[in-house]
Chain A
Amino acid sequence: MKFGIVVFPGSNCDHDAWYSVTHNLHQEAELLWHDSSSLGDVDAVILPGGFSYGDYLRCGAIAKFSRIMAAVRSFACDGGLVLGLCNGFQILVESGLLPGALIRNRGLKFICSPVELRVETTNSPFTSMAQKGRILRIPIAHGEGCYVADAHTLDALEAEDRVLLRYAANPNGSLRDIAGICNAGRNVMGMMPHPERAADPLMGSTDGLVLLQSMVASPALQVK
């Protein structure tokens, strides 16, 4: 399986995502330049963390206009797997591929720390290999990771089983402890924590790998 990892100006977890896919997951990965209009032959896309376009205006607000996002959008519409991590999640909500918004952390400060996440459902290509209720220890590193949406949207996310991960102890004020969600088609996921930082035993946890392994095992890929 080949992952495409988008490099925006200011992405800084692109290499970490690449390394975790190639060295910890033992799959292929290719870096995709933001100015490219094609995703090539990749089977899944990762939008990595960082500060795309300096996070000017709003996190992810400028990245959504980059050329490659048009390709990512149509890839997603065709059922392709797209995983947005941290800044990638912010880009996905700015792009309208996921609902809601990510605003300043409740404490107003950047937080870098391992956190505990609870797997809320295995009904997604990103969590199928995990067990419901399992606690994953994965780091966060963000200043604007507080997930918000109107009550109607939140109710719908829950009713449709689209909340994939919740914080066991909410670090940033996210409504209903939401750490990661997927779209209605269940092929686009955004999450603030960094699974690529929890993929190597030397980093203290390998709990993030299960998300990437789920993607590899996804039937969506066989259909495609």
Chain B
Amino acid sequence: MTQFPPDVLARHNLTEAEYRKIVGLLGREPAFTELGIFSVMWSEHCSYKSSRMHLKKLPTRSKLVVQGPGENAGIIDIGQGYAIVFKIESHNHPSFIEPFQGAATGVGGILRDIFTMGARPIAVMDALRFGPLDDPQSGPRNRRLLEGVVGGIAHYGNCFGVPTVGGECVFETSYGGNPLVNVFALGVVRREDIFYARAAGDGNPVIYAGAKTGRDGVHGATMASAEFTEESKEKRPNVQVGDPFLEKLLLEACLEAMQTGAVVGIQDMGAAGLTCSTCEMGGRGQVGIEIDLMHVPQRETGMTPYEIMLSESQERMLLVAEKGRQEEVFRVFRKWGLDAVTIGRVTSDNMLRVKDHGAVVAEIPNAALTDAAPMYDRQRTRPYRTAPMKGPTFRSMDLDADLRKLLCSGDLCSKQSIWRQYDHMVRTNTTLGPGADAAIVRIKETGASVAMSLDGNGRYCSLSPREGAKLIVAECCRNLSTVGALPVAATNNLNFGNPERPEIMAQLVEAIEGMGEACAFFETPITGGNVSLYNETRTGGELTAIFPTPVMGVVGLLPTQMPVPLSFRNRDRDIVLLGGPGGCDELHFGGTQYAKHILDDLWGLPPALDMDYEKRVQAAIRQIIAEGLAESSHDLSDGGLAVAAAECCFSPGNIGAALELDTDLRPEFSLFHEAPSRILISTTHADRVAAVAAQYRIEAPVIGRTVEGRLTIRNRGNTLIDSPVETLRNLWEGALEHLLHAQDRHV
């Protein structure tokens, strides 16, 4: 029935039904360029067709939200006339194909999303997932991917001049064939200087600025919406190449051009490039956009309209200027040595019209590409899981050895050798940088600071997407509270497998619902984000999906002040376990790091979360920090009490701890269970801490004292852990380098 053979539709990831819908919307068969335009705009990546109806369940509003989902990034009011702009986005598929450039352009893309709204980027964080570095088979590849991705992030962020202030990096077999690279960026803007990606004003010029258009990245968005096969690596030409220097110039030029008052609207060309920016800007502004491709600066000769419209060349922006004032815009771009040309104009007919030397090659109503894009209520069953509910019987032979092994694991070891490759200080705002529970950047203009944290425990979510997602929100908020910040808003990156599989779709929906419930409870509305589906790899005949991995980025506010450090500062301080020892049983122990690294197993359910109690613990720690009662503060998470206590000992001063527990839990549980709602602080004001805890009706036992150079943990007189801090620290600090390079030395 179509003029295109089935394989052409298949290559465009369009179904027969979708094609029929296109014909219906146009009232005719699409031309080839139009087919390409539909294919990218209706791709999962751009249309959210599998997730859209469920994303509506997320809370998106609060008194502070200036801009929720639907724009390039979310915006939160931070007072005194200023706002922060932030979002997280994935670049998983490109990073697997070409890790360095894939990650670099991931950073570039999210930075443009921030400065297109008028904000200057002041912080980047990233959440990374790879296969295990020491896997006998895939280890070399995983190590190469890690080094490539880290190098790419460093390359782009360092040159651009935005500090990479933190993040997280986790290793699981399920990410071996499909690593995750999620990049979060945050910028600051005066409220009156916010720009939106809306076209307006019949006859206003449409201006193209930045890099020239090449053939790179044609069909990147559709690539990101399909599963991986071994052949995917042959898609390397689909991956774009980034130029952070050009992006830096583009940033300065855009912010300066916005100050002229001649800019009406602006959007970056990200996924689906010129196609997406033109139809979305027209759509949001309820106007049309008409362009002629002969004006588009091109890097290569002989490019077809199809290629120009679908190119994902980096570092490009689309602006609408006020008629007659375009020269003011051009002058700024010339100053920064950048191309800026008029390629078309705003119309009043709500159409995207693309010409090539005057001849119309595409003419599509904006709505057909955006609002009318397919939306599927995909079939879902019970969430996919293979883990049993019941775990093995086990008994630790050596708890000290267990702790050492955990501290040496890729997941829990120091990531310093990664983050010292990132410039985390440029712009001199980073008061708390990588390696802390949350990062803090000060806003020079207001005297307030912004804290941010990323988290996404796929292991928990594989056991229960709903409870796992709630735990992720709670953990992010706790990270912020632990440094004294009040969580105010969130962005999410939903990394899942193939939504056409009902058991994967069920994971996605349950995670969204759990996240929505928790975000509403913790009053952190979601102001935008990204959905990355089809994170699966087919090797041989078998399809492997990643762990369901919703990554949250939560931002919080606090007054600018010297930060409370994570690690102990002085001897002879009381150590308080705010929130108490927490409970655990066998069922809720199966998702812990202990189960993973010591028992090599996964079972049961994630730790149990009492959101009301969690919220009170967080309120208490914020008040304790505001009153200056905590000398150090660190929340318990992966690895439980023993790992958190060890991390608190890794201070410059070689301060250790002597902890005395009083619990009925078996030692493996009391040391390593991962129940939430717990924060370890050191203080000289145990009485006042106790008073705050009582006020919030939470437990706050004094569980020990800081001492010189040794970590000991006893339960009712029985020694569980007894190690010199230096031994633990050396293992923890050197583990990642060892994982990355030990194998090389034996070759």
- List residues of A whose CB falls within 8 A of some B CB: 9-10, 12-13, 15-16, 19-20, 49-51, 53-56, 109-113, 139, 141, 143, 194, 196-197, 199-203
What residues on B are CB-neighbors of A20 within 8 Å? 428
A112 with B245: CB separation less than 8 A: no
**Alpha-carbon gap, A203 to B246, bound state (A):** 29
What residues on B are CB-neighbors of A139 within 8 Å? 425
Question: Can you list 8 pairs linking A and B with CB atoms under 8 Å apart?
Answer: A9-B248, A9-B336, A9-B337, A12-B161, A12-B248, A51-B248, A141-B426, A196-B428
Interface residues of B, dominant DSSP: loop
What residues on A are CB-neighbors of B430 within 8 Å? 203
Which of A51, A55, A197 lies in contact with B425, CB distance below 8 A? Answer: A197
> Do A201 and B562 contact each other (CB < 8 Å), given the known contacts A10-B159, A13-B426, A112-B423?
yes
**Whole-angstrom distance from the CB of A171 to the nearest CB of chain B?**
10
What residues on B are CB-neighbors of A50 within 8 Å? 161
**Alpha-carbon gap, A142 to B698, bound state (A):** 47
Known: A111-B421, A202-B442. 4 other contacts (CB 8 A): A13-B161, A20-B428, A110-B422, A112-B421
What residues on B are CB-neighbors of A49 within 8 Å? 426
What residues on B are CB-neighbors of A54 within 8 Å? 159, 243-246
- List residues of B whose CB falls within 8 A of some A CB: 154, 158-161, 243-246, 248-249, 336-337, 419-428, 430-431, 442, 444, 560, 562
Shortest Cβ-Cβ A-B pairs, 5 listed:
A12-B161, A54-B245, A51-B159, A141-B423, A16-B428
**Alpha-carbon gap, A200 to B427, bound state (A):** 12
What residues on B are CB-neighbors of A19 within 8 Å? 428, 444
Nearest residue, chain B, Cβ from A9: B249
What residues on B are CB-neighbors of A202 within 8 Å? 431, 442, 560, 562
Nearest residue, chain A, Cβ from B164: A112
Interface residues of A, dominant DSSP: mixed
> Do A112 and B428 contact each other (CB < 8 Å), given the known contacts A9-B336, A56-B245, A201-B562?
no
**Alpha-carbon gap, A196 to B442, bound state (A):** 16
A112 with B420: CB separation less than 8 A: yes
Nearest residue, chain A, Cβ from B245: A54
Nearest residue, chain B, Cβ from A35: B335
> Do A15 and B154 contact each other (CB < 8 Å), given the known contacts A113-B420, A202-B560?
no
**Alpha-carbon gap, A20 to B428, bound state (A):** 9
What residues on B are CB-neighbors of A113 within 8 Å? 420
Nearest residue, chain B, Cβ from A13: B426
Nearest residue, chain B, Cβ from A7: B252
**Alpha-carbon gap, A112 to B160, bound state (A):** 15
A110 with B158: CB separation less than 8 A: yes
B428 with A197: CB separation less than 8 A: yes
What residues on B are CB-neighbors of A196 within 8 Å? 428
**Alpha-carbon gap, A113 to B418, bound state (A):** 12
B248 with A10: CB separation less than 8 A: yes
Q: Which of B337, B425, B560 has the most chain A CB atoms inside 10 A of its CB? A: B425
A12 with B420: CB separation less than 8 A: no
**Alpha-carbon gap, A135 to B430, bound state (A):** 23
> Do A110 and B154 contact each other (CB < 8 Å), given the known contacts A12-B160, A202-B560?
yes
A203 with B154: CB separation less than 8 A: no
What residues on A are CB-neighbors of B420 within 8 Å? 111-113
**Alpha-carbon gap, A16 to B162, bound state (A):** 12
> Do A200 and B159 contact each other (CB < 8 Å), given the known contacts A9-B336, A110-B154?
no
Nearest residue, chain A, Cβ from B249: A9
**Alpha-carbon gap, A56 to B562, bound state (A):** 38
Nearest residue, chain A, Cβ from B338: A9
**Alpha-carbon gap, A141 to B421, bound state (A):** 8
**Alpha-carbon gap, A10 to B244, bound state (A):** 9
**Whole-angstrom distance from the CB of A117 to the nearest CB of chain B?**
16
Which of B159, B243, B424, B431 lies in contact with A112, CB distance below 8 A? Answer: B424
A203 with B427: CB separation less than 8 A: no
